[in-house]
Amino acid sequence: MTEKKVSARDCLFKRDEGSFKNSMEIIEQYCREHGLQLTPVRKKVFEFLLDEPRGLGAYKILDLLRLSGFNSQPPAAYRALDFLVENGFAHKVESQNLFVACTKPGSHHSPVFMICKKCDRVSETQSTSLDANISDSLRLSGFEIEHAVIEAEGICSVCAGSGSS
């Protein structure tokens, strides 16, 4: 009756300041160690992603860059996103054309996403067993997987538990 969407404050997946800082520090260190340039635009885009558990579209990111004083054009946003995705700091959610910060930055893996239709929150699992299952199944058919897109849409535990509708 009151609200359609669960507010960010109530979310199970909420991240506190500590984990924000932690993710940023992790990728800063990773970049130092691997000779990667975490330029201002790239860093800013990663901040945006960390700050938005629902993920962000490329053009929303472009807007945010402009609000932050960057006078950017679309390629700037896509280039920053390419950098973040290539280096395992972010992922693209293919079924939503949306980008999210990686919860395990720097570890190259095939993520599994759960996208809540109610609160729009995107959460990533590190389901190694899941990856293994899929690999095994498909390997039986002789298919060699290089990358897997696994995205589940449905209702997250918070929204399911909040006795609405």
Partner DNA sequence: TTTTCCTATGATATATTATAACATTACTCG
Partner DNA sequence: CGAGTAATGTTATAATATATCATAGGAAAA
Where on the chain is the footprint of its own copies (CB under 8 A)? Answer: 94-95, 112, 114, 116-117, 125, 127, 129-130, 133-134, 137-138, 141-157, 160-161
Between residues 12 and 21, which has the closer beta carbon with respect to its own copies?
A: 12
Contact 45, 81 (CB under 8 A): yes
- Measured from the CB of residue 5, what is the shortest distance to DNA in angstroms? 19
Per-residue binding string, DNA, 60-99, x by CB under 7 A, is x---------xxxxxxx-xxx--x--------x----x--
SS3 label, residue 44: helix
151: partner contacted, choices DNA, its own copies, none (Cβ within 5-8 A by kind):
its own copies
Among 8, 11, 58, 148, binds DNA (CB under 7 A): 58
Q: How far apart are CA 106 and CA 22, in angstroms?
A: 13
Q: How far apart are CA 120 and CA 153, in angstroms?
A: 10
Question: Which helix (H) or strand (E) element contains residue 100?
Answer: strand 98-101
Q: Does 30 bind DNA (CB under 7 A)?
A: no
Q: How far apart are CA 136 and CA 124, in angstroms?
A: 21
